[in-house]
């Protein structure tokens, strides 16, 4: 589904990704772990086409197609989704309207019919129930406006549920969450996992991975993936710490 080949990228003349290779297949759940500044978040932003990051070498193939020249919206329409570490607040734009506009943009791209507000609300209610986050803030308020940290993250998962991407990249979806909020977010993510879809989790800590079981785990350090393994890798990391892992490589 996603194939990253020798990817290098820089921001403001500083190279942050220094040759990343990664392949993700449908049904897989990958986790990328690593210390601050290792380039994890940069990778997620490069994958969705953030304008501040410049790819200097390598390729990103999504379902065989090189997506490097595509605008962020066109990558989204192919089925790539980024759950933001810091979801953006947008006052004045109703969250339900925003979700409907995004949903309809996808429908248009797929050649499917758009939904009017009435029909969309039905869909939205279903998704809210599925995620067990039924709360009027997601339908009444502006996008992330005045949301708590946990509510913002749940809103990201709600968007993921509405858009049903093929590949969801979740950037530190666990950061800033207390244990209950983390459990609720993980519950939602697990509801959305399927054999046709893939998940790329970017996380600092292994506690998210206690709730969502990854099929593959990668350790990133100084812009490179220095080690890959299975679901046992976070536990090794927990015992040894990043430093030890780095020095053994």
CB of residue 163 to another protein, shortest distance in Å: 7
Q: How far, in Å, CA of 164 to CA of 142, rounded?
A: 22
CB of residue 139 to another protein, shortest distance in Å: 16
CB of residue 159 to another protein, shortest distance in Å: 7
Written as six digits, the tokens of 39 are 């380039």
Q: Pick one of 12, 13, 36, 92: the residue that binds another protein (CB under 8 A).
A: 92
Tell me how far CA of residue 219 lies from CA of 33, 52, 111, 162, 186, in angstroms. 5, 24, 39, 31, 21
Contact 9, 15 (CB under 8 A): yes
Is 166 a binder of another protein (CB under 8 A)?
A: no
CB of residue 23 to another protein, shortest distance in Å: 22
Sign, CA dihedral 39-41-46-47, equals positive
Contact range with another protein by CB under 8 A, out of 70-78, 121-129, 186-194, 200-208: 70-78
DSSP state of 209: G
Q: How far, in Å, CA of 215 to CA of 199, rounded?
A: 10
Written as six digits, the tokens of 217 are 């785990």
Is 85 a binder of another protein (CB under 8 A)?
A: no
Q: Pick one of 4, 22, 31, 76: the residue that binds another protein (CB under 8 A).
A: 76
For the chain, what is the radius of gyration of the CA atoms? 18
Contact 216, 228 (CB under 8 A): yes
Is 238 a binder of another protein (CB under 8 A)?
A: no
Look-up of token digits 């697990």: 190
Is 194 a binder of another protein (CB under 8 A)?
A: no
- Nearest to another protein of 66, 91 (CB atom): 91
CB of residue 63 to another protein, shortest distance in Å: 17
# residues near another protein by CB under 8 A = 28
- Residues 142-161 vs another protein: string with x where CB under 8 A? x----------------x--
Is 101 a binder of another protein (CB under 8 A)?
A: yes
- Nearest to another protein of 49, 234 (CB atom): 49
Q: How many CB atoms lie within 10 A of CB 152?
A: 20
- Among residues 242, 193, 248, the alpha carbon closest in space to that of 218 is found at 242
Q: Pick one of 5, 98, 130, 187: the residue that binds another protein (CB under 8 A).
A: 98
CB of residue 35 to another protein, shortest distance in Å: 25
């Amino acid at each position: 589904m996603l194939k990253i080949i020798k990817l290098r990228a820089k921001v403001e003349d500083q190279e942050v990704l220094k040759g990343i290779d990664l392949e993700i297949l449908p049904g897989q759940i990958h986790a990328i772990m690593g210390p601050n500044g290792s380039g994890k978040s940069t990778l997620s932003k490069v994958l969705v086409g953030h304008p501040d990051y410049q790819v200097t070498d390598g390729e990103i193939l999504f379902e065989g197609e090189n997506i490097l020249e595509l605008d962020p919206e066109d990558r989204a329409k192919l089925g790539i989704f980024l759950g933001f570490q810091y979801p953006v607040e947008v006052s004045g734009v109703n969250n339900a309207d925003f979700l409907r506009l995004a949903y309809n943009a996808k429908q248009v791209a797929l050649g499917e019919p758009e939904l009017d507000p009435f029909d969309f609300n039905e869909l939205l209610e279903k998704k809210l129930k599925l995620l067990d986050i039924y709360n009027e803030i997601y339908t009444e308020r502006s996008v992330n406006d005045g949301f708590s940290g946990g509510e913002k993250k749940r809103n990201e998962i709600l968007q993921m549920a509405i858009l049903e991407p093929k590949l969801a990249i979740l950037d530190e979806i666990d950061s800033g969450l207390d244990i209950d909020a983390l459990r609720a977010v993980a519950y939602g993510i697990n509801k959305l996992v399927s054999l046709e879809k893939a998940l790329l989790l970017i996380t600092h800590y292994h506690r998210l991975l206690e709730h969502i079981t990854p099929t593959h785990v990668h350790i990133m350090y100084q812009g490179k993936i220095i080690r890959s393994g299975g679901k046992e890798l976070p536990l090794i990391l927990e015992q040894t710490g990043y430093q030890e892992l780095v020095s053994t490589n």
